[in-house]
Amino acid sequence: MSSPPTSGSPEGGSPGSGLLTFGETMGLVAADGIGPLAYAKSFSFGIGGAESNVAMGVARLGGEATWLGRVGPDAAGALIASRVAAAGVRTLAITDESFTGLMVRHRRSGEFAQVDYHRAGSAGSRLSPADVPSAEITAASILHVTGITPALSESARAAVFQSIETARAAGVTVSVDLNYRAKLWSRFDAAPVLRDLASRADVVFASPAEAELFVGPGDVPAELAKLGPAEVIVKDGGDGCVALIEGERHTVPALAVTVVDPVGAGDAFVAGYLADRLAGASPAERLTTAITAGAFAVTVPGDCEGAPTRAELAALTGDDVRR
């Protein structure tokens, strides 16, 4: 059993416009400092989820965004609903009888982080097609989904593909971030599903490694574009991004910043691109905003805490002292 969705505050935007996204957001236990988990002396507790990260990023950049998902009847579920809404996102949190998923993250060294998931049978994995109203989809400007949700359960996968078909039939732009997670499913299982997602999308985001799960090496944007999306954006961390948008190629280098925490950079990048797309910006402007938002995110610890406002984006490339 589950409770009806609860909406965020009116400041989170109005139904029927902007971005609609859905998926699992979890509680996040993060070890402070760097080193083996066994030697961590303190921990912080927050939230993390690719889709809600993007929604929060869009909202902070002035766009309207709605996030929908299932959460448990627990403190972590309540925190997710309140924190996403507090970021200005219209929040449709369905209270499920199961628990809110949890992830535990630590920085084993300064070079990489490790994340362990505790989400099998979680509230978020119980998402189903009935949870995503057609009216919400058809009234949105952009439907954004990721390759994470189809890996959670059969019902969650069905929710993604049914929502995409509803959006396509209504002429709503479909955005997909492939977001392959090796701890959720194998490359063999993921490849055909991710390929199917890309072929149904108008906008596709991928890393080179994610794209090469199902396209050959070489010109990755061109290979992805052959599947049908008009906008292909290949995000490559410190190497910036390469995009093929309506047949025009764009290459944007990364910004030089001090990396504090790389987690969440990809979601901030996507949020920057989609926020500018909603605002009617040109492809070049969207990519510049995306690169800058991603760069800003890595300078702040946490999954979603680093998503910048427009003023903060401008500050990143200007004077580093705010007086």
pLDDT at 113: 78
Q: What is the pLDDT of residue 282?
A: 96
Q: HEC string of the chain?
A: CECCCECCCHHHCCCCCCEEEECCCEEEEEEEEECCHHHCCCEEEEEECHHHHHHHHHHHCCCCEEEEEEECCCHHHHHHHHHHHHCCCEEEEEEECCCCCEEEEEECCCCCCEEEEECCCCCHHHCCHHHCCHHHHHHCCEEEEECCHHHCCHHHHHHHHHHHHHHHHHCCEEEEECCCCCCCCCHHHHHHHHHHHHHHCCEEEECHHHHCCCCCCCCHHHHHHCCCCCEEEEECHHHCEEEEECCEEEEECCCCCCCCCCCCHHHHHHHHHHHHHHCCCCHHHHHHHHHHHHHHHCCCCCCCCCCCCHHHHHHHCCCCCCC
Query: In terms of pLDDT, which residue wins out, 103 or 314?
Result: 103
pLDDT at 4: 57
Which band of pLDDT confidence, cut at 50, 70 and 90, is reported for residue 232?
Answer: very high
Mean pLDDT across the stretch 6-33? 73
CA distance 16 to 170: 13
Q: What is the largest distance, in Å, between two alpha-carbon atoms of the chain?
A: 53
Question: What's the CA dihedral at 278, 283, 284, 285 to 10 degrees?
Answer: -10
pLDDT band for position 318 (cuts 50, 70, 90): low
Q: Is residue 3 part of a domain?
A: no
Q: Supply the pLDDT for residue 15.
A: 43
In-domain check, residue 34 = yes
Please tell me the predicted confidence (pLDDT) of residue 276: 97
Rounded to whole angstroms, the Cα distance separating 273 from 147 reads 18
For residue 321, is it within any domain?
no
pLDDT of 264: 67
Arithmetic mean of pLDDT, 151-170: 98
In order of 55, 151, 214, 224, 250, the CA distances from 198 in angstroms are 20, 15, 10, 8, 20
User: Which range has highest mean pLDDT (4-18, 40-54, 109-123)?
Assistant: 40-54
Q: Residue 283 domain-assigned?
A: yes
Q: Would you say residue 238 has pLDDT above 90?
A: no
The model's pLDDT over 120-139, given as tens digits with 9 standing for 90+, comes to 999 999 999 999 999 999 99
Binned at pLDDT 50, 70 and 90, residue 322 comes out as very low
Determine the average pLDDT of the residues in 21-37.
Answer: 92
Identify whether 76 is part of a domain: yes
Tokens of 188: 């063999």
Within-domain flag for 322: no
Does 189 have pLDDT greater than 90? yes
pLDDT at 319 over 50: no
pLDDT tens, position by position, 96-125: 999 999 999 888 876 677 888 999 999 999
Least confident of 93-97, 115-119, 167-171: 115-119
Catalytic residues: 267
Q: What is the mean pLDDT of residues 67-75?
A: 98
Q: Is residue 320 part of a domain?
A: no
pTM greater than the 0.85 cutoff: yes
On average, the pLDDT of the chain sits at 89
CATH number at residue 110: 3.40.1190.20
Is 288 a domain residue? yes
Name the residue range of residue 206's domain. Answer: 10-315
Question: In this structure, which amino acid lies at residue 2?
Answer: S
Q: Is residue 150 predicted with pLDDT exceeding 80? A: yes
* 89-93, 149-153, 249-253, 255-259: least confidently modelled range: 255-259
> 219 vs 302, which has greater pLDDT?
219
For the chain, the domain total comes to 1
